């Protein structure tokens, strides 16, 4: 079963070994790694998602397992929300570390993974042939209406109208965000006056709030490389001067707090 739609005409896509095609003969290639590229050709520069370097940093960091408590809790939450024949969309899946964990945990669930970065999709697709992978924007999901029991967004851009469109009636939207104290020591090492993360109110326009789960703890980075990779995953990486960055690496924190919220909404 394929849930992907043609980004040109909106008709259903039929997958074959090397790609996908719609009834109007618009065809799309499948990369060697296994994802289908459904990005428009005229994507503006600077709109291609995370670059290779950032993806590598994230990949290297996540593979160390520092965020395993979050992934495990996420698997439990999704397991509670889904049944045997469920479909989950991972919208903005990045390099697929969470996606793969969920796919292993929920063996009978179909997972559609979407990210705008082709470099990220290459890694995700290679992780697991069972995951249906496409390079596309979460703001224009090339996915059928009301096909997902759950749409998941882990630290990714939010597009309520698109998410509402693809989620089944009474389906769920699971939104993972950093909580107030997330990476506090990292920020303290960089900034003279660090501020806590702002956690916005839970109300959404198109979904009703059901419940939330908190995941928090302290990680002890094994080496400087891990701190650097973690730093590169954050928005501070772009905003921090060379001088402040050096401050972080001259005395990297030995312990760093991680703190997340898993928010569950219903359509
Ligand atoms: Zn078409």
Per-residue pLDDT tens over the stretch 125-147 = 999 999 999 999 999 999 999 99
Gap from CA of 13 to ligand 1 centroid (Å): 8
Going 93 to 182 to 78 to 153, the CA torsion angle's sign is negative
Gap from CA of 112 to ligand 1 centroid (Å): 20
Domain count, the chain: 1
The total of other beta-carbon atoms located within 10 Å of residue 16's CB is 10
Going 5 to 15 to 115 to 50, the CA torsion angle's sign is negative
Q: Tell whether 13 is covered by a domain.
A: no
Instruction: Output helix, strand, coil percentages for the chain, rounded to the nearest 5.
Output: 30, 25, 40
Whether 43 shows a pLDDT value over 80: the answer reads: no
Gap from CA of 263 to ligand 1 centroid (Å): 35
Q: Tell whether 42 is covered by a domain.
A: yes
Give me the CATH number covering residue 69: 3.40.50.150
Q: Tell whether 225 is covered by a domain.
A: yes
d(CA 147, CA 125): 21
Measured at the alpha carbon of residue 3, what is the angle toward residues 127 and 211, in degrees to the nearest 5?
75
Gap from CA of 45 to ligand 1 centroid (Å): 24
Gap from CA of 38 to ligand 1 centroid (Å): 11
Which tens digits make up the pLDDT trace of 97-124? Answer: 999 999 999 999 999 999 999 999 999 9
Nearest to 147 by CA among 98, 179, 181, 111: 111
Q: Tell whether 29 is covered by a domain.
A: no
Gap from CA of 143 to ligand 1 centroid (Å): 13
Query: Which residues form the domain of 196?
Result: 35-266
Gap from CA of 5 to ligand 1 centroid (Å): 8
Place of tokens 């730093």: 231
Gap from CA of 103 to ligand 1 centroid (Å): 29
d(CA 264, CA 232): 28
Distances in Å between the alpha carbon of 109 and those of 83, 90, 113, 146? 8, 12, 13, 16
Global pTM reads 0.94
Q: Which long-range contacts (CB under 8 A, 24 or more apart) does 194-200 make?
A: 199/261
Which tens digits make up the pLDDT trace of 51-74? Answer: 888 899 999 999 999 999 999 999
Q: Tell whether 17 is covered by a domain.
A: no
Helix H or strand E segment including 99? helix 97-105
- Report, as an integer, the average pLDDT of 5-28: 94
Which tens digits make up the pLDDT trace of 145-195? Answer: 999 999 999 999 999 999 999 999 999 999 999 999 999 999 999 888 888
């Amino acid at each position: 079963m394929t849930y992907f739609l043609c980004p040109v005409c909106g008709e259903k896509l039929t997958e074959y070994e090397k790609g996908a095609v719609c009834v109007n003969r618009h065809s799309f290639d499948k990369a060697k790694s296994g994802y289908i590229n459904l990005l428009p050709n005229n994507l503006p520069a600077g709109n291609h998602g995370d670059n290779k370097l950032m993806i590598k940093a994230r990949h290297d960091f996540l593979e160390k397992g520092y965020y395993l408590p979050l992934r495990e809790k996420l698997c439990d939450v999704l397991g509670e929300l889904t049944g045997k024949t469920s479909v989950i969309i991972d919208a903005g899946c990045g390099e697929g570390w969470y996606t793969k964990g969920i796919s292993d945990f929920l063996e009978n669930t179909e997972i559609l993974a979407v990210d705008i970065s082709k470099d990220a999709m290459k890694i995700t697709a290679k992780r697991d042939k069972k995951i249906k992978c496409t390079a596309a924007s979460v703001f224009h999901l090339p996915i059928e209406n009301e096909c997902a029991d759950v749409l998941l967004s882990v630290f990714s851009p939010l597009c309520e109208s698109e998410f509402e469109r693809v989620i089944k009636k009474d389906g769920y939207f699971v939104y993972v965000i950093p909580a107030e104290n997330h990476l506090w020591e990292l920020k303290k090492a960089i900034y003279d006056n660090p501020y806590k993360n702002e956690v916005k109110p839970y109300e959404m326009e198109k979904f009703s709030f059901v419940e939330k789960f908190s995941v928090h703890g302290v990680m002890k980075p094994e080496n400087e490389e891990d701190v650097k990779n973690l730093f590169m995953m954050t928005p501070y990486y772009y905003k921090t001067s060379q001088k402040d960055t050096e401050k972080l690496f001259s005395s990297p924190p030995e312990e760093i707090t991680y703190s997340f919220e898993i928010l569950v909404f219903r359509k």
